[in-house]
Amino acid sequence: MPNPGNVIGGHKANLHNPNTSEESKQRSKEILDSEFDGGDTAKYSSAHQEKHYTNPSHVTAGNNSSHYSGSTHSGNLHSGSTHSSTHAHGSSTAHGANPGNVAGGLKATISNPNTSDEAKERAKERLEHDDFTSRVPRRHLFNSPKHLNNINTMAAEIINTISPITGEIIQTRNGVSDADFDGILATATEAFKKFSKTSLEYRQGIVKKALEILLSKADELGKEITEQMGRPIAYTPGEVKTAVMRGEYLLKISTEVLADTPGEPQDGFKRFIRKEALGPILVVFAWNYPYLILINSLVPALLAGNTLLLKPSPQTPTISERMVEIFKQAGLEDGVLQTVHCGNVQTLEKLVKRPEIRSIAFTGSVAGGIAVQTAAASRVVPVGLELGGNDPAYVRADVDIAWAAGEIVDGAVFNSGQSCCSIERVYVHEDIYEQFLKEVVKVLEGYKLGDPMDPKTQLGPVVSEKSAEAIRKHVEDAVAKGAERMTPEGVFDAGVAMGKTFVRPELLANCTSEMMVMKDETFGPIIPVQKVSSDEEAIALMNDSEFGLTASVWTKDVAKGEELIESIEAGTVFVNRCDYPSPDLAWVGWKNSGRGQTLSKFGFDAFVRLKSFHVKNYPK
């Protein structure tokens, strides 16, 4: 749910903005008077709660040797500490959208019989006075609420990004409205006609250059990630670098993957199968590993010849904007990539239903994925879903206990546990159970929770106060049902004192299957441990879940480990590793963890359609 204080701040800014119309000021005053009961943030209306999916969720983890190899996603439809404030009238402009799209949206506003005369008049004035010929996007990159005066307060929604570090508004965007769709989609469709006819070699050149530019900006872009979602600065440049490595692999295999497939040879006939581009693709991606998640779809979709609409999480709005800029610098034509800012489920659902959208790639929570899938159900369109997880690890009795403890802690708490594929539940053989807990305590004593801008910090804040509350609720539920807290006292006190979003790691012993931490996705720095007496018991418990993203077995007996993972119901199964989506393997979720796949040669499938050619020689 959006932070009520942010909503109030947005409407108060409207009241004091000299550029705001009297009608808009009156609406803001009415909202402040009625829905917030004079500004009491605790009385945010249930109507708004039901309208906004601002429930933050998910992120990533990984072994320090493997962070960024691909830990990815989650989060609800627009997760993170953000707010989208919806107004009754006026068209909105997607940040970074083609100015022609803005003009198209204004024209649609004028021709819409349901638009008020005042709104039509404002649209006419903008058409007459604004420069829509410029290809330079209008940017709204703000560092404090005072800059709200520059935002279009008549936009369909104003989206604020709240820093998980300070709790302040650090980014503000105008969201798109229905009126913008015609222009945005027309641009994407028109660009597709030309771009899809270019050669694969040409597109490979563009992608190669863009990846080089992206790599050169790793430190700059890493800092933006830290500011917007709170991961420590020691790690965020690594995400950008790993995204480049992943993109380079997909680029390397693209010639072979996208080549024609020959049919059976036969005299007098020529038969083959071609992979052709689909058209405009909508990519909705989460905040927890935004560059890694985006690269999974962006690179194969572009190489196949599609155009893309990139819908970032409101928590990390700059990611798609930066990618559009980088590909523009690399020589990509206008209109092939566009950013679409949206902070509410209703507008996104309407966009999903548009027939111009030929495929949808969604990364986020289960609830968000189901909402997108439901919206798309009225027509035949591919929907790829990369959703949440509750990933288990099983530690066998034969391991080096100290080593396994370090690996498990890293896989569970890296990025504050905000990963779809972080370790969320741990099963340990009874023969080493007590010693394993002691070794985990030792590992945690070496961690630092604190300011994510400090290079020595290993754990920063979780994405929002709401997320922190959900994590603490899971811990409280476990303790109430018999779990024992074993986190070393005093180690994380200074970090916890920094604010409500600074959540310390929690080692929970004596966990059982009915606890929320063992059956739901916590998406936080929690290590819940349950004792098992055999391999068979461990595998049965690992499979007792609605999720099936990844799972890991830790053992000296690698052959036995391979045997055990054969029986695990998950898309990726590891022996002696975790949280590493390798680009040469399909990244795929089983059960409620998703549908479809990214990465590997199969990661191109969602962005192409097959066309069979069957040619017979003319009879002589």
Rounded to whole angstroms, the Cα distance separating 464 from 480 reads: 24
Torsion angles phi and psi, residue 250, rounded to 5: -60, -35
| Residues 501, 312: Cα–Cα separation, whole Å | 22
One-letter amino acid at 445 equals: E
Please enumerate in sequence order all residues whose Cβ is within 8 A of that of 487, keeping only pairs 6 or more positions apart, or say none. 441, 444, 504, 505, 506, 507
φ/ψ of residue 74, rounded to 5: 110, -175
Q: Which residues, other chains included, contact 603 with Cβ-Cβ below 8 Å and sequence gap of 6+?
A: 250, 296, 300, 586, 587, 597
- Taken in order 509, 513, 514, 516, is the CA torsion positive or negative? positive
> CB within 8 A of 166, min separation 6: which ones?
none
Per the listing, tokens 């109430």 go with 480
State the sign of the Cα–Cα–Cα–Cα dihedral 148, 151, 156, 159.
Answer: negative
Residues 6+ apart with CB under 8 A from 156: 86, 87, 90, 91, 92, 174, 175, 176, 177, 178, 179, 347
Q: Which of 454, 574, 501, 606 is nearest to 70 (CA)?
A: 574
Question: Hey, which residues are catalytic here?
Answer: 386
Q: Are 75 and 365 in contact (CB under 8 A)?
A: yes
Q: What is the dihedral of CA 574, 575, 577, 583, to 10 degrees?
A: -40
Q: Read off the amino acid at residue 448.
A: K
C-alpha angle 97-103-107 in degrees, rounded to nearest 5: 135
The DSSP-derived string for 328-391 is HHTTPPTTSEEE-----HHHHHHHHH-TT--EEEEES-HHHHHHHHHHHTTS---EEEE----E
Instruction: Tell me which amino acid residue 139 is.
Output: R
Q: At residue 242, what is the residue type?
A: T
Pick from 334, 223, 349, 232: nearest CA to 284: 349
Rounded Cα distance between 185 and 152, Å, is: 22
In angstroms, the CA 374 to CA 384 distance is 13
- Neighbouring CB atoms inside 10 A of 383's CB total 20
Bridge partners, residue 363, by sequence: 386
CA dist 94 → 24, 59, 97, 153, 177 (Å): 20, 25, 5, 13, 8
